[in-house]
Amino acid sequence: MSESQQETSPSTQFEELPDAPPKRKVKLSWPGKIGIAVVIFWAIIVAIGPTIAPYHEADILDEELFIVPGSDEMYPDTDFQPPSKIVYLGSDYLGRDTLSRILFGARTTIGISFIATLLAYLLGVTLGIASAVGSRFLDMSLSRVNDALLSIPSIMFALVMIAALGSTIPLLILLTGIIYATSVFRIARSLGQEVMVSDFVEAAKVRGEGLWWVITREILPNIAMPLATDFGLRFVWVILFVSSLSFLGLGVQPPMSDWGSMVKENLPGLVYGSVAPLMPALAIATLTISVNMIVDDISAHSGGKLAKRMIS
């Protein structure tokens, strides 16, 4: 049957077979899609949060708002109120609106974390690549300094620095950036080293290309994807770190709201069954879990190699 077909087209017969099936596109699973939706939701809140908030983050609500019509109670409690039509997510320990504070806090928490992660990447990738392509001496010195920084517990380091220099937002960003640059450095260095010994970099060197070309055209495009994925994960850790600093009272200072400090301030409310400490915790959880779900999908696409490297 196929005999006749083959005779008619001798030239197309026995074409060289393709090496491997075409690469699959990144396909998001449904948790990944939910993750993207939640991240987009929070991005919108960062942009418009304060304008749609019913109250200001520092407003202590008036007692009159809580007077139930027909009741003779003139001075009702305003703190730790359950969710109602007046305060959709309840009120906090000073009687401020939890929803408004979460909406305002999104900007501080996500903003600080995002800028700090960017800073960590700027520092870490620059030095990591320098270490990968530079001389043995440069690599050794940068790596040992990095190891020294890594060996200091990050919370302790931040605690000492904040105690000495005072808690301001620029310092918070700088500190977080430096602390997280250490792990970015290690990833960028190991990714860079791997590409550095590949044949195509060798080919560029034999051609006589300069270091700048090798870095920007040969190395960076090949490590951009794993770095971008790691950026998502690192961002989550920075959020948790900034939140834990705030929880210890070292981060964002009152009356500015921040999800981490909101959890801390309202902890006593748990005794009264208040939702005030749970809501900001939930906000942190939704954002971090969503980013993780997206990262998982991309990592699965790369055969899990990415995930393994990022743990180190």
Partner 1 sequence: MSALLEVDDLRISARNDDDELTPIVKGVSFTVARGEVVALIGESGSGKTTIALSSLGYTKPGLEFTGGEVRLEGEDVITMESDQLRGLRGQRVAYLAQSAAATFNPALTIGEQVTETCVLHGILTQEQADQRAETLYRALELPDPDRLGKRYPHQVSGGQLQRLMAATALCGKPDLLVLDEPTTALDVTTQIEVLKAFKSVIKQEGAAAIYVTHDLSVVAQIADHIVVLYAGEIQEHGTAEQVVSKPSHDYTRRLMHAVRPPPAAGQGDETSGEHRREAPALEVKDILAGYGRTQGGVPSITVLRDVNVAIERGHSVGIIGESGCGKSTLARVMAGLLPAAQGQVLLDGEELKPALQQRKRDELQKIQFVFQMADTALNPRQRIDHILGRPLEFYLGLKGEEKRRRIGELLQMVELPQEFAGRYPEELSGGQKQRINLARALAASPEVLLCDEVISALDSIVGANVIELLKRLRKQTGVSFVFISHDLSTVASFADEIVVLYAGRVVERGTTDAVLSPPYHPYTRLLISSVPELRVGWLEETMETQEAQAGIDRVVTLTDKGCPFFDRCPLAIEGTCDEETPPVRALTGSHAIECHRSEAEFAH
Residues in contact with partner 1 by CB under 8 A are: 2, 6, 13-14, 16-19, 21-25, 27, 198-200, 202-203, 205-209, 217-218, 221-222
Nearer to partner 1, 165 or 203 (CB): 203
Cα–Cα distance measured from residue 308 to residue 233, given in angstroms and rounded to the nearest whole number: 13
* Between 6 and 84, CB nearer to partner 1: 6
In the complex, least distance from residue 125 CB atom to partner 1, rounded to whole angstroms: 17
Q: Of the candidates 171, 220, 166, which has an alpha carbon nearest to the alpha carbon of residue 191?
A: 220
Between 19 and 72, whose beta carbon lies closer to partner 1?
19
In whole angstroms, the minimum distance from the beta carbon of 188 to partner 1 comes to 17
Integer Cα distance of 284 and 239 in angstroms: 8
Separation CA 181–CA 131 (nearest Å): 14
Nearer CB in complex with partner 1: 25/85:
25
Task: In angstroms, give the least distance from the CB of 8 to partner 1.
Answer: 13
Q: Please, which residue, 192 or 260, has the CB nearer to partner 1?
A: 192
Taking alpha carbons only, the member of 71, 60, 66, 59 closest to residue 83 is: 66
Shortest Å, Cβ 279 to partner 1: 40
The single-letter DSSP state of residue 219 is I
In whole angstroms, give the CA distance from residue 288 to residue 292: 6
Element (H, E) at 281: helix 278-301
CB of 292 to partner 1, least distance (A): 24
Of the candidates 154, 190, 179, the residue with the CA atom closest to the CA atom of residue 308:
190
